[in-house]
A and B are shown apart, each in its own frame.
Chain A
Amino acid sequence: MTEIVALEALVARIAPGQSLAIPVDSSGVAMAATAALLETGISDVRLICVPISGMQADLLIGAGAIASLETSAVSLGEAGGAPRFTAGVKSGAFALRDSTCPAIYAGLLAAQKGVPFMPIAGIIGSDLLNVRPDWQVIDSPVGEARKVVVVPAIAPDVALFHAPEADRAGNVRIGRHRELAELAYAAKRTLVTVERIVDRNLLETEDSAAGVLPSLYVDTVAVAVRGAWPLALWDEYPADEAEIARYAAMARSEEGFRAYLSTFLSHRKQVA
């Protein structure tokens, strides 16, 4: 059964050393939970960005919370490059596993299907194959004779994201953001923060059920109002561009980052 708990209890279920999968900025990023997680002093997280990340990954990196990073890119979008990511790569602060977007989705799909790897088109010729020895080029064993890249399954210990609402049974509305379902199908446990809990059953009609991740795949839900801020949450609020730009400027230096982080954590506490 899905448990509905307080935000602090939700993040307490993420342990040092675990792999943590997070979605792209436009898909519902659990920023309030990220703040609460950083408050616990978490370390050694093996972060997996599905398939890229921005401020969330940069905050976790800057705070020294991660041991390794698998991603197709880390960028603040319009606000420019991700400063702590860039600095961390240069100093070797974490083990980096550069990827490409569809390879991450394919790895999750393999985990969802309970198979060790997934073949994927394209990629051949890229230097990514040299820096990712865990990816292999094989001759297709079936069908037409051709070379194909295979990537290993990605089964995160924990998936964490934010959505507009869940019902009391733990069904979560994800709209057309099906990548969130893919995260949940592949992960061993899924933690979701939501703007609100609704009394109606989200699986009641075909109309609403089509946009819902069933509670079968949802372990824990917590309410976090404006839980994606300063990032956007679809149909709810736009990104706070000024705040993201402020982060981009401050995070250029280690001291600036520390100052930003401490106000970010206290701001999130006030909202909670």
Chain B
Amino acid sequence: MSAERERREILIAAIADLLDGIRHVAVGASSPIPATGAMLLRARNELCGKPPVRISILGSQAHNFFTNGGIELFDCAAQGRVDAFFLGGGQIDGEGNINLVGTGDYPASSVRWPGSFGSAYLYHLIPRVILFREEHSPRVFVPKVDFVSARAITPEVPRRGGPHALLTNMALFDFDRKAGRFALCSVHPPFTPADIRENTGFDYDEPEVVRETPRPDAATLSLLRGRIFDELAETYPAFARAMRQAA
């Protein structure tokens, strides 16, 4: 359990770093790790006097300042009022396209997932979309998705939004929007670049020296294990409890 907690803490700290510099991050429903990363950034900025961060967590009452109904997140995104968001995918391909619909021939998919949610829209409009998918396997990371719920780049249409990075249980990738390709950025301990190659079904760039994803430092850990898990308990009680019990 404590190994599980360390794994999650690396992801949470990586998310806080990826969000650095933003003013407003929205987090979709059922996303405890992204929500925790956003809360860590908010607390960190507050402590070191950096500009405040707004967090909108869908499904939360305490961490949600919208009052104009379900459409408000989308209106905010269209106006450039949301800087960062998280998307996942049943499949994610090497060009950054995501599939939330299913595999095989549409519509009688061999595997059917819930559906595209707001992805087709938000991917276009939010500048810093972090792709977050814990399972790192060739069945998730495919050369080409079977259905494009949301496309990563659209040279034919100018846009503000798109992928910023891809974070998994094993590694962190950067995304080059001009080239439309991922590049391996860092590998979480105890994995190696060879593990990543073996478990990734698409091609990507790899620097000569791949660094290890840093473990969160002591100050980050104490912030996380204290105040952040308190704040998180309103929206994700089970997750906050599990992280605490692992201590």
Chain A: residues with CB nearer than 8 A to chain B? Answer: 24, 26-27, 50-52, 71-75, 77-78, 81-82, 85-86, 89-90, 92, 96, 98-103, 105, 109, 120-128, 131, 146-147, 176-182, 234
Q: Which 7 residue pairs spanning A and B have beta carbons closest together?
A: A178-B69, A125-B151, A73-B115, A122-B124, A122-B121, A75-B114, A126-B120
Which listed residue, B72, B116, B148, touches A73 by the CB 8 Å rule? B116
Which listed residue, B30, B117, B159, touches A78 by the CB 8 Å rule? B30
Interface bits B107-134 vs A (CB < 8 Å: 1, else 0): 1111011111111111111000000000
B121 partner residues in chain A, CB cutoff 8 A: 100-103, 120-123
Nearest CB to that of B152 among chain A residues?
Answer: A125
Which listed residue, A77, A81, A89, A123, touches B124 by the CB 8 Å rule? A123
Given contacts A101-B74, A122-B122, contact A74 B151 (CB under 8 A): no
User: Whole-angstrom distance between the alpha carbons of A96 and B66 in the complex?
Assistant: 31
- Interface majority SS on A: helix, strand, loop or mixed? mixed
Q: Which of B116-169 contact A (CB under 8 A)?
A: 116-125, 147-151, 153-154, 156-159, 161
- A184 nearest CB across to chain B (Å): 12
B116 pairs with A99, CB closer than 8 A: yes
Question: Please, could you name 16 A-B residue pairs with CB atoms under 8 Å apart, sorted by A?
Answer: A26-B29, A51-B118, A52-B117, A81-B114, A99-B116, A101-B117, A101-B118, A102-B121, A103-B120, A105-B70, A105-B71, A105-B74, A109-B71, A121-B121, A126-B150, A181-B69
User: Whole-angstrom distance between the alpha carbons of A82 and B101 in the complex?
Assistant: 13
Which listed residue, A71, A98, A122, touches B123 by the CB 8 Å rule? A122
Nearest CB to that of A105 among chain B residues?
Answer: B71
Nearest CB to that of A92 among chain B residues?
Answer: B108
B109 partner residues in chain A, CB cutoff 8 A: 89-90
A102 pairs with B74, CB closer than 8 A: yes
A98 partner residues in chain B, CB cutoff 8 A: 101, 107, 115-116
Nearest CB to that of B113 among chain A residues?
Answer: A81
Nearest CB to that of B116 among chain A residues?
Answer: A100
A122 pairs with B69, CB closer than 8 A: no
Q: Which of B63-77 contact A (CB under 8 A)?
A: 66-72, 74
- Interface majority SS on B: helix, strand, loop or mixed? loop
A99 partner residues in chain B, CB cutoff 8 A: 115-116
User: Whole-angstrom distance between the alpha carbons of A122 and B149 in the complex?
Assistant: 12
A179 pairs with B117, CB closer than 8 A: no
A26 partner residues in chain B, CB cutoff 8 A: 29, 59
A179 partner residues in chain B, CB cutoff 8 A: 69-71
B125 partner residues in chain A, CB cutoff 8 A: 121-122
- B194 nearest CB across to chain A (Å): 33
User: Whole-angstrom distance between the alpha carbons of A34 and B134 in the complex?
Assistant: 36
Given contacts A121-B121, A176-B67, A178-B67, contact A89 B150 (CB under 8 A): no
How many residue pairs link A and B with beta carbons under 8 A? The number is 145
Residue B106 lies at the interface, judged by CB distance under 8 Å to chain A:
yes
A131 pairs with B69, CB closer than 8 A: no
Residue B100 lies at the interface, judged by CB distance under 8 Å to chain A:
yes
Known contacts A77-B30, A178-B67, A179-B70; can you find 6 more A-B pairs with CB under 8 A?
A74-B115, A78-B30, A89-B112, A102-B74, A121-B78, A147-B157
Which listed residue, B115, B150, B151, touches A52 by the CB 8 Å rule? B115
B151 partner residues in chain A, CB cutoff 8 A: 124-126
B71 partner residues in chain A, CB cutoff 8 A: 102, 105, 109, 178-179, 182
Given contacts A90-B109, A122-B78, contact A73 B124 (CB under 8 A): no
User: Whole-angstrom distance between the alpha carbons of A51 and B116 in the complex?
Assistant: 11
Nearest CB to that of B148 among chain A residues?
Answer: A127
Given contacts A73-B117, A89-B108, A101-B74, contact A177 B69 (CB under 8 A): yes
A81 partner residues in chain B, CB cutoff 8 A: 113-114
- A226 nearest CB across to chain B (Å): 20
A100 pairs with B118, CB closer than 8 A: yes
Which listed residue, B70, B110, B116, touches A128 by the CB 8 Å rule? B116
- A153 nearest CB across to chain B (Å): 15
Which listed residue, B100, B107, B122, B156, touches A96 by the CB 8 Å rule? B107
Which listed residue, A24, A127, A181, touches B147 by the CB 8 Å rule? A127
Nearest CB to that of A50 among chain B residues?
Answer: B70
- B244 nearest CB across to chain A (Å): 19
A131 pairs with B74, CB closer than 8 A: no
User: Whole-angstrom distance between the alpha carbons of A50 and B70 in the complex?
Assistant: 9
User: Whole-angstrom distance between the alpha carbons of A103 and B78 in the complex?
Assistant: 13
B69 pairs with A123, CB closer than 8 A: no
Which listed residue, A71, A77, A78, touches B115 by the CB 8 Å rule? A71
A72 pairs with B70, CB closer than 8 A: no
User: Whole-angstrom distance between the alpha carbons of A135 and B31 in the complex?
Assistant: 30
Interface bits B25-43 vs A (CB < 8 Å: 1, else 0): 0000110000000000000
User: Whole-angstrom distance between the alpha carbons of A128 and B123 in the complex?
Assistant: 14
